[in-house]
Chain A
């Protein structure tokens, strides 16, 4: 294994690594704009200039040593870019000496010459690499007093990407991303010198299903999303780790929340799942239902109207309803959109308490999303594998979810309990629900199904709960709450942004709707305890502990361990994938 020295520190690395990679893997960050570990090296930002040299050798091959016993180093007279310089054995690299600092200041001065410096307006401010580096690696002075070069602002590159040419520092990350990762080669540099800008080829658009990742990797605010543009400042939001709800990829995400509303979803690096990327669909279509049209209290149908009620009344109504039918007349419809914990509790209620043989769930397959790229998958529910793994198997159910519509029509099924299911892609079932004598729905939004329900129980969405999803590769991943409900109010206090945390009752920003919804397993446990059981789960972790004891696939798993290894594969609780170093483009590492 070759070893080399960065600022005198000895570093072991693999053959063929570049200086910047080897440094990053050892916790040293060399400033850079255009380098990204997933993309090819272009070396055009010049920010990662370092001094590189090899020790002088005597004719017999031994290193020449000065009077103090230190080896004499032959430095290359010109600085080299760390992103394109492969490490060779015994190499000396300086990243902090006078020459390098001078070069970094010069590069920053050059980059800022035509940059509009409109940070107060720019959305990237607060998480901008250029801003951070200007603070740390620039001497803060510009000798440029000519007029700045103006370019086109507000260019629409595609349905989900806006481009501001003035802010662009021509790092070419977006060009390389669309060529190499998204495989849609539509971007290119045009013009020369300080007039250089990025253009789409004539008649093309950046409209691939992964286009919004260019916004993520853009080191400055040149690329923005029309969806989020100017909505909030980065420092006003809290970012909480979660797992994507959009599909069974289980992409790791961060939820950007302000005033108890999700404003944006961005990817979180997980080398085993989504690497650095996220589909546009997962970014855009999995937060509206969390923010809007929510059921905020339990509802019971009296006549044709839904009447708000207390949790006690609503759960009692469900318990009374369930006893009045024969167990095999009741169908329990679990969900691929609910967590492992919720599905487990639901299954326990169905099999052990009500003793119904009918428990199944609907799959959400939409072939239009399938392509050769690894992120977009046809399975549109986040936890299909998890539902199966906790023991909800179609073949074990007397009446299968596929036959549900028919069974209701024929009168085999007279009561139905629906867990977080919206019957998307299964619309034919919705009409038959009118034939049911008793319909209980646990859901977050008002929709056609909740309209027909006799009891509606407001469930918390994925953004408000603690739990686990099992993705398409059978990887169990942990999601933690990002939004406040009445249930998690005390617990969430510390995770909120500054404004949410310290607001008083007469501050406008704290006057958001506080929803009285509960995580599904809590509702299920309430009902179950009214039917005579004695479940003592205090939090999701208790349920997960029981799952890990009772179900061999989940053996040796715990939330802490899942967090530590960024997810554990089913059946491999004891032998997790090795931890890898996660590159975060916009995380500015303190030294």
Chain B
């Protein structure tokens, strides 16, 4: 059997082989789309504000009377990507334990939200922050200074979490 017969080219009709009507059809489609509403936006001038359910960069909650984290290490234990490292020490506050060192390696983080789910103190939550750009690998390891976010900025997420508690 000769397989060179019945090719794409041979199957085309006469008008298709001419191409000109096809070009006109294509341009017509483009023209029609121009008058339909737009789905894209002018990022970064126009930004997207995610909902409370969005899982962005995990952050530590900085409450009115200081950080909530008691360095129990459950987030570090549950993290499937081993992104979190916590070192604890003692404080004079009511909750005696606090993290001397709390680091999330954002190169490892997979935004699964297990850390938030396991946290007994509601101290680590997923923020709306999705813009993560690093120049060097070391910058991707976030320490407490970068992780602590005032509780006022996290209200959306905390409310969202309370619905499912």
Contact = CB atoms under 8 A, between A and B. Distances in A.
Q: Do A and B come from one complex?
A: yes
Contact of B90 (A229, A232, A508, A509): A229
Task: Summarize A's interface: helix, strand, loop or mixed.
Answer: loop
12 contacts: A118-B95, A120-B70, A121-B95, A121-B97, A230-B89, A232-B88, A235-B73, A503-B82, A506-B137, A507-B85, A507-B105, A508-B105
Contact of A230 (B90, B108, B121): B90
Given A120-B121, A153-B96, A230-B71, A506 B105 contact: yes
B74 A120 contact: yes
A161 to B, nearest CB: 15
A563 B74 CA distance: 34
Interface in A503-527: 503-504, 506-509
Contacts of A235: 73, 77
Interface residues of A, number: 23
B47 to A, nearest CB: 31
A231 interface: yes
Given A121-B96, A154-B96, A502-B82, A233 B72 contact: yes
Contacts of B71: 230
Interface of B: 70-74, 76-77, 82, 85, 88-90, 95-97, 103, 105, 107-108, 120-121, 137-138, 141
A486 B123 CA distance: 39
B77 A121 contact: no
Contacts of A118: 95
A150 B47 CA distance: 50
A118 B120 CA distance: 10
Interface string A219-263: 000000000011111011000000000000000000000000000
A477 to B, nearest CB: 33
Contacts of B107: 506
B72 A125 contact: yes
Given A120-B74, A120-B97, A508-B85, 11 more contacts: A120-B70, A120-B121, A230-B90, A230-B96, A235-B73, A236-B76, A236-B77, A506-B137, A507-B82, A507-B85, A507-B105
B103 A508 contact: yes
Nearest to A507: B105
A236 B87 CA distance: 11
A121 B76 contact: no
Given A121-B97, A502-B82, A507-B105, A231 B77 contact: no
A436 interface: no
A321 B87 CA distance: 48
Contacts of B120: 119-120
Interface of A: 118-121, 125, 153-154, 229-233, 235-236, 498-499, 502-504, 506-509
Nearest to B94: A153
A508 B90 CA distance: 22
Q: Give me the 5 closest cross-chain CB pairs, A-B, nearest first.
A: A120-B72, A233-B73, A121-B97, A120-B120, A230-B88
Contacts of A504: 108
Contact of B72 (A121, A503, A506): A121
A148 to B, nearest CB: 14
Contacts of B141: 506, 508
B73 A236 contact: yes
A501 to B, nearest CB: 10
A229 B137 CA distance: 33
Instruction: Pick from A119, A121, A509 the residue with the most CB of B within 10 Å.
Output: A121
A230 B73 CA distance: 11
A407 B59 CA distance: 68
B88 A509 contact: no
A232 B86 CA distance: 9
Given A120-B70, A120-B72, A506-B137, A230 B97 contact: yes
A235 B76 CA distance: 11
A178 B137 CA distance: 54
B75 to A, nearest CB: 11
Contacts of A229: 90
B101 to A, nearest CB: 8
A502 to B, nearest CB: 6
Instruction: Pick from B71, B96, B121 the residue with the most CB of A within 10 Å.
Output: B96
Contacts of B82: 498-499, 502-503, 507
A306 B90 CA distance: 40
Contacts of A233: 72-73, 77, 88
Contacts of B103: 508
Contacts of B88: 230-233
B53 to A, nearest CB: 26
A96 to B, nearest CB: 32
Nearest to A117: B120
Contacts of B95: 118, 121
A355 to B, nearest CB: 53
A499 B77 CA distance: 9
A508 B143 CA distance: 11
Nearest to B96: A121
Contacts of A121: 70, 72, 95-97
A509 B73 CA distance: 14
Nearest to A118: B95
Given A153-B96, A230-B90, A235-B77, A509 B72 contact: no
Instruction: Pick from A154, A229, A508 the residue with the most CB of B within 10 Å.
Output: A508
Nearest to B91: A230
Contacts of B89: 230-231
Contacts of A125: 72
Contacts of B96: 121, 153-154, 230
Given A121-B96, A229-B90, A230-B90, A509 B77 contact: no
